[in-house]
Amino acid sequence: MEKTDIKSMTLDEIEKHFQSDGLQKFRAKQVFRWIHRGVGSFEEMTDLSKALRIQLAQQYVIPPVKVLQKRVSRDGTIKYLFRLGDGECIESVLMCYHHGYSICISTQVGCKMNCSFCATGQSGFSRNLCPAEMLGQIQTAQVDAGVRVSNVVLMGMGEPLDNYENVLRFLELVSHPEGMNIGMRHISLSTCGIVDRIYELADRKLQLTLSVSLHAPNDEIRSRTMPVNRRWNVAQLLKACRYYAKQTGRRISFEYAMIGGVNDMEWCARELSRSLRGMPAHVNLIPVNDVTGTGYQKSSGEALKRFVDVLESGGCTATVRRTLGSDIEASCGQLRGKYKGGNGYEG
């Protein structure tokens, strides 16, 4: 019999299962607390009887997320390569900011979206992560680094809104008061623009920050670099963003990777600021990171500065994102899950 993934279950669901197993209801909360403290086995749940621990291990499984390798940057950023129960590998990045620790986690093994500047798409798509594997990345990193994470960004490998049900369940679990208790205001979800799902998410009115990978001011440039734009264009995407802002009262964060000669011209900034007019928005500019085979060049510091100035004079707030972990290829778009030599890990 296939064992049930208990870590992806809500407290209510565990209670129901336990009741039908003839276990006392309060056991559910006890087990839930252990799981969300990050224990890897029932054996470690020392306030349960030996017999109960054996019974649970026969019926349920806690999906493992183990450190396979890690790299530590000069700035303290740690890039983890994690190994999952079926041998698949994913990456997460732990970053230290003045306000605390932030972790960038993956939501899929690989990605289907194929953005031309991103390394993850190059290795194709393998599978969705379950909620337990998303939680596991945070917990395993916390234990390994001996820190407590206060912010989570769903910006690693994969497209979160292409794994919608599991991501929603993850959000419910990670913010649960008996679990990790990380509030929605401390979580960001980054999407390439799966418009249908943005509407659905908006209607849930979660206090989550929506980060939208825009990277272009118009369809001509965006369709060239991001195939998803051929399904939902810039106008449709921005309409969904306005709806999200209206429903949630939250400002939208737009990601814009600056690629020399492709999307970093002054007229692009003017067009962008016109499109974002009237929307509570913030633009994060990121000089595009090197990914082998793309041929893209980072924009110059001067182009970045000009871009910010034009956006701001158009009434749009913008900042140039500080790059962390660039010496260990831990920056945006450089995560590439398949474990094979030459992907940046030593040893």
> Which residues are designated catalytic?
91, 332
Neighbours of 278 (CB within 10 A): 9
DSSP state of 16: H
> Nearer Cβ to ligand SAH, position 110 or 131?
110
In the complex, least distance from residue 234 CB atom to ligand SAH, rounded to whole angstroms: 15
> Nearer Cβ to ligand SAH, position 45 or 192?
192
> Nearer Cβ to ligand SAH, position 18 or 80?
80
Q: What does the alpha-carbon distance between residue 310 and residue 314 come to, in Å, rounded to a whole number?
A: 6
In the complex, least distance from residue 342 CB atom to ligand SAH, rounded to whole angstroms: 17
Neighbours of 19 (CB within 10 A): 13
In the complex, least distance from residue 231 CB atom to ligand SAH, rounded to whole angstroms: 14
- Under DSSP, is residue 276 helix (H, G, I), strand (E, B) or coil? helix
> Nearer Cβ to ligand SAH, position 14 or 192?
192
Q: Which residue is nearest to ligand SAH (CB)?
A: 333
> Nearer Cβ to ligand SAH, position 195 or 291?
291
In the complex, least distance from residue 338 CB atom to ligand SAH, rounded to whole angstroms: 16
- Under DSSP, is residue 273 helix (H, G, I), strand (E, B) or coil? helix
The position carrying tokens 């940046």 is: 344
Q: What does the alpha-carbon distance between residue 186 and residue 21 come to, in Å, rounded to a whole number?
A: 36
In the complex, least distance from residue 277 CB atom to ligand SAH, rounded to whole angstroms: 22
Query: Residue 208 — φ and ψ, nearest 5°?
Result: -90, 145
Residue 18 tokens read as: 């336990």
Half-sphere exposure of 172 (CA within 13 A, CB side): 15
Q: What does the alpha-carbon distance between residue 159 and residue 189 come to, in Å, rounded to a whole number?
A: 9
> Nearer Cβ to ligand SAH, position 42 or 225?
225
Q: Mind giving me the DSSP string for 236-265?
A: HHHHHHHHHHHHH-PPEEEEEEEBTTTT-S
Residues 6+ apart with CB under 8 A from 51: none
In the complex, least distance from residue 150 CB atom to ligand SAH, rounded to whole angstroms: 20
Residue 286 tokens read as: 């990121």
Neighbours of 293 (CB within 10 A): 8
Residues lying near ligand SAH in the complex (CB under 6 A) are found at 113, 115, 117-118, 155, 159, 190-192, 213, 215, 255, 257, 286, 288-289, 291, 332-333
